[in-house]
């Protein structure tokens, strides 16, 4: 008989997962992933089941990290919601298994993990690629990812100015009212991104909203949305002129409309920069195209369980 799995809700997961612990673990696992040693890490590209009638999809994201003893899968749904809907667009559950015997050891909320690990990975990209002395941060979107990105970016870096744009201005104001620090609400994407050093795109857009002609030379774009092969957030000009980094080459080729449809060349994986195989071209305009990886959920879930176990 094995013990029943630990059940952790969103509040517990949020409480047990700090950016301080998460960032070094993500750096380490992404560096290892990019070495493609299958005796260390196995992570297939996400399996996606489209739910066309309801503008959604289900993604299944397994990962096995042999040295860390982590066997994990996340199940995540993403639904394009009407503006102002009270339902979250991204919902997820993470399962941790005992890799030796195969039973489930923990079942936990995956929304907080998805929000925090995605923002933490974007912050790692900014640390490597944003211009030295970056002063202006711009966030496009005002949902869950926009919020986690605001939290980690303002925590890890010191910006002089933070700007936000959202499709409906009142949503941007609602976003800002929830925060402690000063944030300028902009009425157009162009206004928001002009002169910005770092731009986060975290929207549910399926057509380009960010155009290369508006982006300052040398800026860094962390592109988080547009995770289907026919969805875009960035236009062809930006994709072709920037140095493009991705989380996983296989994932980017299978899932990123910004890469597939623009014909942009991928320069390197974030992990390849972390492990020293490719340079960070900080002086150039850079795009980090994030799609999300099972290994990121796996190390996050392990951290949550370690913290929870240390308290019980
Ligand atoms: N790269 C990754 O690892 C992850 C990516 N995502 C993606 O990030 C994006 C944001 O996710 P959440 O913050 O969870 O969603 P959310 O629903 O909480 O926020 C979405 C934001 O995008 C805006 N938006 C929706 N459609 C738009 C359009 N056509 N044009 C401009 N703005 C639009 C909404 O007004 C809202 O501000 C989604 O595309 C999602 O698939 C989500 C989780 C992980
Ligand atoms: O990595 C992830 O969990 C997701 N990426 C896009 C939607 C959800």
Best residue among 114, 120, 290 to mutate for probing ligand 2's pocket (most ligand atoms within 8 Å of CB) is 114
Q: Determine if ligand 1 sits within 6 Å of the CB of residue 170.
A: no
Whether the per-residue pLDDT at 139 is higher than 70: the answer is yes
Q: Which atom of ligand 1 lies nearest, measured to the CA of 175?
A: 37
Number of separate domains in the chain: 2
**Domain annotation covers residue 100:** yes
Q: Say if residue 217 is exposed, middle or buried (CB neighbours under 10 Å; 0-12, 13-18, 19+).
A: exposed
Find the CATH number of the domain harbouring 169: 3.40.50.720
Separation of CA 260 and ligand 1 centre (Å)? 19
Q: Determine if ligand 1 sits within 6 Å of the CB of residue 294.
A: no
Question: Of all protein residues, whose CA lies closest to atom 9 belonging to ligand 1?
Answer: 225
pLDDT digits (tens, 9 = 90+) for 257-285: 999 999 999 999 999 999 999 999 999 99
Both 130 and 238 in one domain: the answer is: yes
Q: Which atom of ligand 1 lies nearest, measured to the CA of 121?
A: 3
Both 102 and 137 in one domain: the answer is: no
pLDDT digits (tens, 9 = 90+) for 8-19: 999 999 999 999
Whether the per-residue pLDDT at 2 is higher than 90: the answer is no
Q: Say if residue 149 is exposed, middle or buried (CB neighbours under 10 Å; 0-12, 13-18, 19+).
A: buried
Both 18 and 92 in one domain: the answer is: yes
Both 44 and 60 in one domain: the answer is: yes
Counting ligands in written order, the one closest to the CA of 74 is 2
Whether the per-residue pLDDT at 288 is higher than 80: the answer is yes
How many Å apart are CA 98 and CA 103, to the nearest integer?
5
Q: Determine if ligand 1 sits within 6 Å of the CB of residue 125.
A: no
Both 108 and 130 in one domain: the answer is: no
Both 185 and 283 in one domain: the answer is: yes
State mean pLDDT over 204-217. 97
Helical ranges in the chain per DSSP H: 10-16, 19-33, 111-129, 144-156, 169-177, 189-193, 236-241, 249-255, 257-260, 270-274, 294-311
Both 89 and 127 in one domain: the answer is: no
**How many residues comprise the chain?**
312
**What is the dihedral sign for C-alpha 6, 8, 13, 15?**
negative
Phi, psi of 57 (to 5 degrees): -150, 160
**Domain annotation covers residue 44:** yes
**Domain annotation covers residue 1:** no
Whether the per-residue pLDDT at 146 is higher than 90: the answer is yes
Both 302 and 206 in one domain: the answer is: no
| Residue ranges making up the domain that contains 172 | 114-292
Find the CATH number of the domain harbouring 102: 3.30.1780.10
Ligand 2 neighbours by CB, cut-off 6 Å: 59, 76, 78, 90, 114, 227, 291-292
Cα–Cα distance list, 5 to 59, 71, 176, 238, 248 (Å):
23, 14, 38, 46, 31
Q: Which atom of ligand 1 lies nearest, measured to the CA of 296?
A: 3
Both 109 and 122 in one domain: the answer is: no
pLDDT digits (tens, 9 = 90+) for 27-68: 999 999 999 998 999 999 999 999 999 999 999 999 999 999
Give SS3 for 252: helix
Separation of CA 58 and ligand 2 centre (Å)? 10
Q: Which atom of ligand 2 lies nearest, measured to the CA of 74?
A: 3
pLDDT of residue 1: 60
Q: Tokens 């989380």 appear where?
A: 247
Q: Determine if ligand 1 sits within 6 Å of the CB of residue 34.
A: no
Whether the per-residue pLDDT at 129 is higher than 80: the answer is yes
Spacing of C-alpha 207 from chain mean position: 19
Both 204 and 69 in one domain: the answer is: no
How many Å apart are CA 62 and CA 60, to the nearest integer?
7
Q: Which atom of ligand 1 lies nearest, measured to the CA of 145?
A: 13
Both 143 and 282 in one domain: the answer is: yes
Q: Determine if ligand 1 sits within 6 Å of the CB of residue 248.
A: no
Helical ranges in 130-223 per DSSP H: 144-156, 169-177, 189-193
153, two tokens: 């970016």
Counting ligands in written order, the one closest to the CA of 224 is 1
Best residue among 143, 296, 297 to mutate for probing ligand 1's pocket (most ligand atoms within 8 Å of CB) is 143
**Domain annotation covers residue 55:** yes
Q: Determine if ligand 1 sits within 6 Å of the CB of residue 43.
A: no
Q: Which atom of ligand 2 lies nearest, measured to the CA of 92?
A: 3
**Domain annotation covers residue 151:** yes
Whether the per-residue pLDDT at 168 is higher than 70: the answer is yes
**What is the dihedral sign for C-alpha 185, 191, 194, 198?**
positive
pLDDT digits (tens, 9 = 90+) for 175-209: 999 998 899 999 999 999 999 999 999 999 999 99
Both 90 and 155 in one domain: the answer is: no
Residues 6+ apart with CB under 8 A from 133: none
> What ipTM was assigned to the predicted interfaces of this complex?
0.99
pLDDT digits (tens, 9 = 90+) for 66-109: 999 999 999 999 998 887 788 999 999 999 999 999 999 999 99
**Domain annotation covers residue 239:** yes
How many Å apart are CA 139 and CA 162, to the nearest integer?
8
- Nearest by Cα to 199 from 171, 165, 176: 165
Q: Which atom of ligand 2 lies nearest, measured to the CA of 293?
A: 1
């Amino acid at each position: 008989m094995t013990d029943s799995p630990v059940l952790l809700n969103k509040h517990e997961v949020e409480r047990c997962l700090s950016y301080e612990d998460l960032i070094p673990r993500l750096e380490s696992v992404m560096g290892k992933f990019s070495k493609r040693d299958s005796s260390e890490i196995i992570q297939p590209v996400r399996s996606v089941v489209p739910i066309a009638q309801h503008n959604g999809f289900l993604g299944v994201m397994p990962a096995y990290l042999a040295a860390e003893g982590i066997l994990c899968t996340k199940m995540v749904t993403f639904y394009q919601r009407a503006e102002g809907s009270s339902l979250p667009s991204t919902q997820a559950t993470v399962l941790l298994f005992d890799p030796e015997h195969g039973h489930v050891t923990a079942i936990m909320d995956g929304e907080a993990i998805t929000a925090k690990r995605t923002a933490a990975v974007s912050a790692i990209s900014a640390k490597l690629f944003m211009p030295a002395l970056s002063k202006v941060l711009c966030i496009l979107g005002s949902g869950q990812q926009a919020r986690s990105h605001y939290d980690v970016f303002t925590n890890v870096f010191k910006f002089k100015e933070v700007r936000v744009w959202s499709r409906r201005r009142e949503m941007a104001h609602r976003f800002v009212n929830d925060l402690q620090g000063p944030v300028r609400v902009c009425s157009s994407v162009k206004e928001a991104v002009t002169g910005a050093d770092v731009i986060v795109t975290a929207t549910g857009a399926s057509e380009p909203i960010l155009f290369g002609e508006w982006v300052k030379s040398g800026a860094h774009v962390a592109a988080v949305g547009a995770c289907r092969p026919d969805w875009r957030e960035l236009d062809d000009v930006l994709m072709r002129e920037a140095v493009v980094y991705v989380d996983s080459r296989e994932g980017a080729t299978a899932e990123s409309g910004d890469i597939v449809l623009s014909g942009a060349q991928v320069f390197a994986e974030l992990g390849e920069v972390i492990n020293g195989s490719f340079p960070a071209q900080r002086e150039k305009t850079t795009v980090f195209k994030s799609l999300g990886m099972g290994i990121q959920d796996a190390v996050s879930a392990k951290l949550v369980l370690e913290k929870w176990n240390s308290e019980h």
